[in-house]
């Protein structure tokens, strides 16, 4: 069974451009989470999608947005890129959001570099 897949693996953009990152959850998982991991910092929660809806977002500006498609895959868009957006972006999925026994399964991440 395939795990969480993310694409692209690496993405290089210049300041002011837009970046689109993609994530496919494990088959059967309906919840998708996005995290940002900047160099030397911990994982910061970005967005949570469940059943096609944005359920919550972390403390990030509106230029960070996304969506979840009917097949539960997800897209993260970052507009007007800034240098400090350079980070590893990790996507995770879980079967549901509410169960006490839900494990988070992570993809390998997209390394975004803003020049």
Partner 1 sequence: KQEVTQIPAALSVPEGENLVLNCSFTDSAIYNLQWFRQDPGKGLTSLLLIQSSQREQTSGRLNASLDKSSGRSTLYIAASQPGDSATYLCAVNTGGFKTIFGAGTRLFVKA
Q: Is the dihedral of CA 70, 55, 87, 82 positive or negative?
A: positive
Q: Which span (11-19, 39-47, 66-74, 75-83) binds partner 1, by CB under 8 A?
A: 39-47
Tell me the HSE value of 100 on the side-chain side, using a 13 A CA sphere: 0
- Selection from 70, 77, 67, 73 nearest residue 26 by Cα: 73
CA distance 24 to 28: 11
**Residue among 42, 53, 59, 62 that touches partner 1 (CB under 8 A):** 42
Instruction: Provide the minimum distance between the beta carbon of 32 and partner 1 in the complex, in angstroms, as a whole number.
Output: 10
- The SS3 assignment for 57 reads strand
**Residue among 85, 107, 112, 114 that touches partner 1 (CB under 8 A):** 107
Binding mask 2-21 for partner 1 (x = CB under 8 A): --x-x---------------
Instruction: Please give the residue ranges that form the binding site for partner 1 (CB under 8 A).
Output: 4, 6, 31, 33, 35, 41-43, 45, 48, 55-56, 88, 90, 92, 97-98, 100-109, 111
């Amino acid at each position: 069974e395939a795990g969480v897949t993310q694409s692209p693996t690496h993405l290089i953009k210049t300041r002011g451009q837009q970046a689109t990152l993609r994530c496919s959850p494990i088959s059967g998982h309906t919840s998708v989470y996005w995290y940002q991991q900047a160099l030397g910092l911990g994982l910061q929660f970005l967005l949570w999608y469940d059943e096609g809806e944005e359920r919550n977002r972390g403390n990030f500006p509106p230029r960070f947005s996304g969506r979840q498609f009917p097949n539960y895959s997800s897209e993260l868009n970052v507009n007007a890129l800034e240098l400090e957006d350079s980070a590893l972006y990790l996507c995770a999925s879980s079967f549901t959001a509410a169960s006490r026994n839900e494990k988070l399964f992570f993809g390998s991440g997209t390394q975004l570099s803003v020049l």
